[in-house]
Amino acid sequence: MTDSFSRWVHLLRRPIDLGWERLRASYATALGLCFAVLVLRSHARILQAHLWAEDGAVFLSDALAHGLGATFKPYAGYLHVVPRLVAWGLSLLPIEAFALGLAFVTLALNAAVFALIARERYRWLVPHDGVRLLTAVAFCFLPGTWEVTGNLANLHSVLFYGAMLVAIQDLDRPLGLADGLVLLAGASSAGESVLLAPVFLLRGVMRWRDGRPAREVLWEGLAVAVLTVPAGVNMVLFRQSGMPASDFAHWPLSRMAEHLWHTFNVRYVLHPVLGDGGTLSYFRRPLAVRMAVACGFIAVLVLGIRRVPARPRVLLLAACACVFLLIPLTWYVRSGSAEYPTFGAFRDPGVVEDRYMLFALPAGVVLWVAALARFRSLFGAGLCVAVMVLALPRWTFEPWGPERDWAPSARLIRVTRETPGAEASVPINPIGWSFHVRSASRSEP
């Protein structure tokens, strides 16, 4: 009787277990969770929808003036193909729907990138499906997401990490069409994606040494080309843009090293474990205490990474190294950015909202999750939960700024475009930003 009962229990549990496995491994599940979290965090901005910075001043303005012709128009020295396509598509709808539609579309794009880590092809790095699902959700709580998520102006930063996630997936699986689309989106809209070209070159070499067919290794070569060719175009555009040169190249080596160490220490060692408050507390401690804490965390990280199989470990470390190059690249191309508090000693809690705080942190979280999950899956899951819990003080993304009611702005845009010879300045967020709109009859073709 007992054996018969056990068999029945086993038969009943099997479909449940199989269904749970599929649910945990589902990209769609991760996408839905990330989107729900981002919408909940952004609910105030959705209820009081308006535009942020370049979303109006550049992307909507150019979409209204040039239509699809604005797609390859550079801004700030590089291409923004995906943001311009989104702005153009939404501009075809009634203007009253633009701000709210933009919020939902960009949040969906952010969620789509964050959810990539939950796919089965990352099992070689983090074997437990549930831990990868939690990692995807943890991305939604990182510093910098206040400004980065939910707008076109900073979409390039999210697309960059999409390219990073494609780079570290299982070498036994050839790159697919979806991977190519992610890379194309990043290369055409995030000039910094070229930093990941060496990782795809490494992938190609490793797959070639495995004896993979040439047609499969070719995809890695195409990935390198996709990331590199637009970067060459962006270099020309950047030089033509006349943007002010950075003084970072003239810094003393000691000053460069200090800023690089602080940035590395915060993004890869401290913040994924300690969160905002813990990292602030760390920088208030004596030097000896800081050295001991940093060395202790690095030791744990090294021991965990040593447990990761050689191939994913090499690929992950290469990706993290290339992602970190984003920091000095930003300092070099953006005048004055090296002086930002986000890149120095972490002493101001206000910097967690700044878009630059996100730089390298997703790679740091993946590094820690991969390391801790090799001790116990529970440790990796615990880290992800800690990232979410420690972010509770900044749970809500409040409205962008004082401009919160899109209806009057949309009415002004519509009336101006329908009135021959009319022009108007439409205020947007943050304070001091606006965009110029003119009659449709006067807009450039």
Per-residue pLDDT for 10 more than 70? no
pLDDT band at 9 (very low <50, low <70, confident <90, very high): very low
pLDDT at 232: 87
Per-residue pLDDT for 33 more than 70? yes
Percentage with pLDDT > 70 across the chain: 93
pLDDT at 336: 82
- What integer best gives the mean pLDDT of the chain? 89
CA-CA-CA-CA torsion for 26, 160, 150, 110, nearest 10 degrees? 0
pLDDT band at 442 (very low <50, low <70, confident <90, very high): low
Per-residue pLDDT for 242 more than 50? yes
**Structural domain boundaries in the chain:** 28-239+255-394
pLDDT in tens, 260-301: 999 999 999 999 999 999 999 999 999 999 999 999 999 999
pLDDT in tens, 91-111: 999 999 999 999 999 999 999
pLDDT in tens, 357-408: 999 999 999 999 999 999 999 999 999 999 999 999 999 999 989 999 999 9
C-alpha to C-alpha distances, 1 to 13, 14, 394, nearest whole angstrom: 18, 20, 56
pLDDT at 382: 95
pLDDT at 414: 94
Inter-helix orientation angle 287-307/271-282, to 10°: 180
pTM for the model stands at: 0.90
Region 432-441: mean pLDDT is 87
Percentage with pLDDT > 90 across the chain: 73
